[in-house]
Amino acid sequence: MNRNFVDLIIKKRDKNELSTDEINFFVEQASDENFPDYQISSMLMAMYLNGLSYRETSDLTMAMANSGKVLNLSEIEGIKVDKHSTGGVSDTTTLILAPLTASCGLSVVKMSGRGLGHTGGTIDKLKSIEGFNTEISDLQAMTLVKNNGIVIMGQTENLAPADKRFYAVRDVTGTVESIPLIASSIMSKKIAAGCDALVLDVKCGNGAFMKDFESAEKLADTMVEIGKNVNKRVIALITDMNQPLGNSIGNSFEVIEAMEVLKGNLNGRLKEVSLELGSRMLILGNICKTKNEAVNMLEENIKNGKGIEKFRKIIASQNGNPNVVDDYSLFPMAKCKKVVKAQMSGYINSINTYGVGKASLETGAGRRKKTDLIDYGAGIILRCSLGDRISEGEILAEVYAKTDEMCDNASEILKDSIFIDNKPSVKIKSIIKVIGE
C-alpha cells in the first residue's frame, strides 16, 4: 500500500480506484486534527470529480464509522433497526414511528440530530417538552431500552468524528453535492450508532436536498448497496417533498401533530409515510413477516392507545413532563400571530416547500447556523394542501412568532410560496419508489 498521501491524491485524480488499505489510511490521517485541510480538500475534490465505486464508498463508510466509538448494542435483545430521513419540512415521522414500533415490541435506539437550515431536527422538537433530556450516555441508553424498549437521544461527540472533519471541509470547498460522499456520511453515523438494519427515507422534491428523482434514486441505491457490502440490511423509500409532509412547521406544533396522529385524530400524508416506514422497521426487526401484517399492527396500536402511551413513557423516562400529552397548553407558544389569506379563488397548484421552510426560519423556529437559539413556540400551521379548492379570502396559513415584524416577514415569504391557479395540480404519490425490499 502506498502511504504517501500526495501519491494517493494523484491516484484518485487520475481516476484510479483506491484500495481498502489506502482509504483506511486516508481516513486515519484526516482524523488527525493537525493534518492539513488543503490535502483533505484535494482528496475530496478528486473523489467528487471522479466518483467512487460501490466498494470504495463502502470502505470509506466503514473507515469513517470506525474513526470514533461504535455503540455496542449487543446487550439489547433482538434486531436493532434504525431509521434515517435525508430531511424535509414538517417531517415528524420519527416522533410517530419510534414510539409506535416500540409499542409493537421492537427495541428502538434512536440517535437523532438538531435542525439546520430549512429542515427541522428531532432533538429540537423534543426540547419543546419541558425537561426532556436527550443528552443520554451509552449506559443510560441501554438502561432505558431494557426498561422501556426505546430511547431517543442526541448524537454523541465521538460518533464518526472523521465525518465531522470531512463535512466541515466539504462545506467550504464545493464538494457537498457528491452522492458517494453524502451516502458515506449518512451511513457511517448510522453504523457507528450500532444498528443491525436501517430504513431510509430519501426525500425528493423542491423542499428536499435531492430535487429530482434521478438524484434521489442514485442516493438510495448507493446507500442500499453500502448496506449489502457491510452486511447490514437496508431498505430505502423515496418519498415526495414537493409539499410539507404535515400541516405543522415548528417544534411545539410538530410534536403536537405527532401526538394527534398517535391518538388516531389525524390522517393524511404524515401518517401514511410514518406507517410505510414503520412497517418496514417491523419487518426488518422480524416482528412481522409482511407489510400488511405490519401496517395492521401499527394501526391497531394507534386505535388501542399503545402508541401514544409509549410516547408518554418516553417523555417521563427522559425527565420530560408527561402531562403535555393531555394538555397542549404546556408547550411554549409564541405570542404574536398573523394569518395568510388567499388573494384569489382557485386551486392550490404548487407549493415551494423550501420557501415554506425559509418562512419558518423567519419565525425563529429554526437556525441558520449551529449557534442560533430556537424559539420553540414559533412556527407555521398550514391550512391548505396541494389540489385544495380555495376561495378568495380563505386562510392558507397561520404564522406564530415572537414579534409582529417576524410574523410579517414570514408571511411575505409564505405568500410567495403558495401558488393558486384555476387548474388543480397533478396528484403526486407520497411514496415514489421502494429500493432494497
Kindly list the catalytic residues.
84, 163, 170, 185, 189
> Could you identify the residue written with the cell 400529552?
325
Q: All 3 cell numbers of residue 215?
A: 438524484
> Could you identify the residue written with the cell 482528496?
43
What distances in angstroms separate CA 266 from CA 303, 307, 387, 404, one per listed residue? 12, 14, 19, 30
- CA angle 102/106/109 to nearest 5° reads 75
CB count in 10 Å sphere of residue 416: 12
Report the C-alpha gap between 87 and 357 in whole angstroms: 11
Report the C-alpha gap between 298 and 306 in whole angstroms: 10
| 65 HSE (CA, 13 A, CB side) | 23
**Nearest of 98, 79, 201 to residue 152 by alpha carbon:** 98
Report the C-alpha gap between 121 and 136 in whole angstroms: 17
Report the C-alpha gap between 116 and 121 in whole angstroms: 7
**Nearest of 375, 369, 418 to residue 395 by alpha carbon:** 418
Please answer whether residues 89 and 250 qualify as being in contact, where contact means their C-beta atoms are separated by less than 8 angstroms.
no
CB count in 10 Å sphere of residue 11: 18
Burial tier of 339 (Cβ tally within 10 Å: 0-12, 13-18, 19+): middle
CB count in 10 Å sphere of residue 404: 12
